[in-house]
Amino acid sequence: MPHVDMHVHTLYSRGDGLASPEEVIHAAERRGLCGVAITDHDTMDGYRAACAIPTSLALIPGCEVSSADGHILSYFVSSPVPPGLSAEETIHAIHAQGGLAVASHPLDRRRHGVGERAFSLPFDAIEVRNGHNVSTNAETERRARLAGIPCIGGTDAHLAREVGSVTTVFPTCGGFADHIRAGRTDVHGAPVSRLTLVEKALRTHLLRQSWRA
């Protein structure tokens, strides 16, 4: 069945992503994915750059919004929602564009999840499996499924080789928004290794230091 990595960062996530859009696309192709969502922090420039690269992959427009209450993934939007709004305001702004609002790694508060709001606000889905989350995925998935909330998964990739480690499984390679809304999805894969997480942390630290120099 078609697999899509629904949470991928590029170097356009300034100071965070470490892969170019071209590297992300090539990694997804090597993995045999159906598609990939470019979800840089508070910008869609990475997605727009990816759209200029020849590929048979389905490219899903996205952005990870830094709301005042935590990170929220927006999909199928035409422009990024401004950061700093409340979670409620962010969801409303995403819906106003006809997009989907998804709580990213919600129970991981160290990485700015929205916490309990994931289960009470009108999110279209919850990211229940995140490739950089080694502690709260299982509890998030248990609670989302118990509440009947649609589930997605994504690697949260910052390095190209991470792409496809965690995916959302769809019935078809298309109609993604409808499948998510209807809960016709499953999740696949496991978090990336701790060694990879350490490498990512060191490389982003060095990148940020170089900018400050």
Quick one: pLDDT at residue 162?
96
User: Does any domain span residue 161?
Assistant: yes
Structure confidence at residue 176 as a pLDDT band (50, 70, 90) = very high
Average confidence score pLDDT of the chain: 94
Number of folded domains that form the chain: 1
Which CATH number characterizes residue 188's domain? 3.20.20.140
How far, in Å, are 78, 91, 95, 154, 155 from residue 98 at the CA level?
9, 11, 5, 21, 24
pLDDT digits (tens, 9 = 90+) for 116-140: 999 999 999 999 999 999 899 999 9
Its pTM stands at 0.93
Q: Domain of residue 55: give its range.
A: 3-208
How far, in Å, are 49, 59, 85, 149, 153 from residue 133 at the CA level?
28, 24, 25, 20, 11
User: Does any domain span residue 213?
Assistant: no
Structure confidence at residue 208 as a pLDDT band (50, 70, 90) = low
